[in-house]
Chains A and B, each alone.
Chain A
Amino acid sequence: MSEELTRPFEALPESCDVLVVGAGIMGLATAHHLARLGAGRIVVVDQSYLCSGASGRNGGGVRAQWASEINIGLMKRSLALCADFATEMGINVWFRKDGYLFLARNEKRRAELEGSVALQRSHGLPTRMIGPAEVAAIVPELDVGRVVAASYNPDDAVVFPWPFVWGYARSCQRQGVEIFPFVEAELETENGRVAGALLRSRRTANAGAEHRIRAGLTILATGAWSPEVARPLGLELPNHPHRHEICSTEPLKPFLGPLVADLESGLYFSQSMRGEIVGGISNNRVPDGLDQRSSLRFLGLYARELTRTMPILGSVRVLRQWAGCYDLTPDGSPIVGRVDGLGDLVLLCGFMGHGFMMAPIMGLLTARHLMKGEEQELFDRWSLSRFERGELLAESMILG
């Protein structure tokens, strides 16, 4: 078999058992596990190149420090999968386990973090609250004058996101999953069920070429594009895109252990295995809709807060900035599983800017759910119909 990860438009089949729309980490991880469980012929399409969306644009943070039981439990398992990914997939993901440090700037935030830490410890995590002196011992360059306390889990990690996409893609390809980049999908219904899609090529060589594919099951793993992709079905999803910017400095000799995060300003930063300081910050004044442009204002907001938090970084230069889209939901929790009234459509979206770190576990659980009927409770709780039922959820440790 060819070593090529992806297939040309001309090779699209007439039908498949599972059509996955979106070749980001969520779609590919799910396809990988579906193939392992013998789901039949699986086709994955993406409107652009691999790593073009949020999977290729995020900061690579992978943490189990969360405020809700459901996210703590899932992320504990996802972290373990990330730690084994390089060995299992035979690809270097630059996994670095030096922890996450959440800073509290006031007593209110300290109390919130304390509550989360207690919950995390009851799940067997080694997270603990530490005072400014210990914060300074872990990261001596931080200005701890404005730090009241912090929560610290030494087992949280950072990775380089791109090899995760290629690792899953490679494994998919070896199991016979066919991946088609630069293919846009317009979902189609037949007798009240989603029956497949009209696919259109976006490659320069044959742009606009069309091909109809029939699918037994269609999975929507299109992140911030999900509302747009679902709309032709008459399905209005409650999530919406939100631009999040991020930047990277010139490389420095390794000095910074944990990823440092501040839920007050939304600032977070870590040092990558390449030595760069990579980080971002909350910014509520961004253009509506799908927008991946960079702004000068972001650089200003980020640089101001970062140099206050770690003044020694003032002389370090920013090399590059970019943007991606968060996929936000009204209650901060994802939207997954089969859609009531639209048979054979499965949603896997609304991951609030944390889909990358959740994909290893969500891919596994989604495949088990669809093939074996497992995990019904999770898929009920995170279902689209919760919005109609008014059963909204809560999660307070969302960054950015």
Chain B
Amino acid sequence: MKDKTIVCRCEDVTLHQVDEAMARGHRDLESLKRYTGFGTGFCQGKQCVALCARLLVERGGDPPTRPITPRPPVRPLALADLALLVEDEG
């Protein structure tokens, strides 16, 4: 059942994929994120980063000193709203 245990719900990343990525040498949090895609979906890691960091450390990976680089915006924002930000520049 290990291949059905979901660790990132937005991107459907499984525990099995985390194990596979680590076996291939992705042994730090940023590499693991890029190889499995955890944290890159709709919630942008809010639900999965802590879990993936723990799994990484439990499997002997490099202990992260910080979370994955946060990518703004904190919440999804509509392009029409963002387009108003620079209106005064002409």
Q: Which positions in A face B, CB cutoff 8 Å?
A: 2-6, 48-52, 56, 162, 166, 181-182, 203-205, 249-250, 294, 296-297, 299-304, 306-307, 313-322
| Partner of A317 from B30, B77, B83, B85 at Cβ < 8 Å | B77
State the Cβ distance, A220 to closest chain B Cβ, in Å.
23
Q: Select the residue from A48, A302, A320 with max chain B CB neighbours within 10 A.
A: A320
State the Cβ distance, B23 to closest chain A Cβ, in Å.
6
Contacts of A306 on B, CB cut-off 8 Å?
Answer: 79, 83
B80 near A: Cβ within 8 Å? Answer: yes
- Between A and B, 28 residue pairs with Cβ closer than 8 Å are A2-B25, A6-B25, A48-B30, A49-B31, A51-B34, A56-B34, A181-B31, A182-B28, A204-B65, A299-B72, A300-B84, A300-B86, A302-B82, A303-B82, A304-B87, A307-B80, A314-B80, A315-B78, A315-B79, A317-B76, A317-B78, A317-B79, A318-B73, A318-B76, A320-B44, A320-B72, A322-B69, A322-B71
B3 near A: Cβ within 8 Å? Answer: no
A307 and B83 in contact (CB under 8 A), knowing A56-B34, A294-B72, A322-B71?
yes
A355 to B65, CA, bound (A): 31
Contacts of B23 on A, CB cut-off 8 Å?
Answer: 3-4
Contact B71 A321 (CB under 8 A): yes
A269 to B34, CA, bound (A): 22
Which residues of B17-62 have CB atoms within 8 Å of chain A's CB atoms? 23-26, 28, 30-31, 34-35, 40, 42, 44, 62
Shortest 8 CB-CB contacts between residues of A and residues of B: A300-B85, A314-B80, A4-B25, A303-B82, A317-B76, A300-B86, A320-B71, A303-B83
State the Cβ distance, B44 to closest chain A Cβ, in Å.
6
Seed contacts A315-B78, A317-B76; 11 additional CB < 8 Å A-B pairs: A48-B30, A49-B28, A166-B35, A182-B28, A203-B62, A300-B85, A300-B86, A303-B81, A314-B78, A314-B80, A318-B79
Contact A304 B25 (CB under 8 A): no
Contact A249 B71 (CB under 8 A): no
Contact B34 A301 (CB under 8 A): no
Q: How many residues of chain B are within 8 Å of chain A by beta carbon?
A: 31
B67 near A: Cβ within 8 Å? Answer: no
Contact B62 A205 (CB under 8 A): yes
Whose C-beta in chain A lies nearest to the C-beta of B28? A49
| Partner of A294 from B24, B71, B81 at Cβ < 8 Å | B71
Whose C-beta in chain A lies nearest to the C-beta of B43? A319
A302 to B40, CA, bound (A): 21
A6 to B79, CA, bound (A): 40
Contact B34 A5 (CB under 8 A): no
Whose C-beta in chain A lies nearest to the C-beta of B34? A51
A306 to B81, CA, bound (A): 12
State the Cβ distance, B26 to closest chain A Cβ, in Å.
8
A250 to B44, CA, bound (A): 11
Contacts of A5 on B, CB cut-off 8 Å?
Answer: 24-26
A303 and B85 in contact (CB under 8 A), knowing A315-B78, A317-B79?
yes
Q: Select the residue from B23, B65, B85 with max chain A CB neighbours within 10 A.
A: B85
Contact B80 A297 (CB under 8 A): no
Whose C-beta in chain B lies nearest to the C-beta of A51? B34
A319 and B44 in contact (CB under 8 A), knowing A204-B62, A294-B71, A307-B80?
yes
State the Cβ distance, A1 to closest chain B Cβ, in Å.
12
Contact B77 A318 (CB under 8 A): yes
A208 to B2, CA, bound (A): 38
A183 to B62, CA, bound (A): 15
Contacts of B73 on A, CB cut-off 8 Å?
Answer: 299, 318, 321
State the Cβ distance, B12 to closest chain A Cβ, in Å.
12
Q: Select the residue from A4, A6, A49, A314 with max chain B CB neighbours within 10 A.
A: A49
A321 to B79, CA, bound (A): 13
State the Cβ distance, B52 to closest chain A Cβ, in Å.
15
Contacts of A204 on B, CB cut-off 8 Å?
Answer: 62-63, 65
Contacts of A51 on B, CB cut-off 8 Å?
Answer: 31, 34
A40 to B84, CA, bound (A): 57
Whose C-beta in chain A lies nearest to the C-beta of B63? A204
Contacts of A319 on B, CB cut-off 8 Å?
Answer: 42, 44, 76
State the Cβ distance, B73 to closest chain A Cβ, in Å.
6
A300 to B83, CA, bound (A): 5
State the Cβ distance, B35 to closest chain A Cβ, in Å.
7
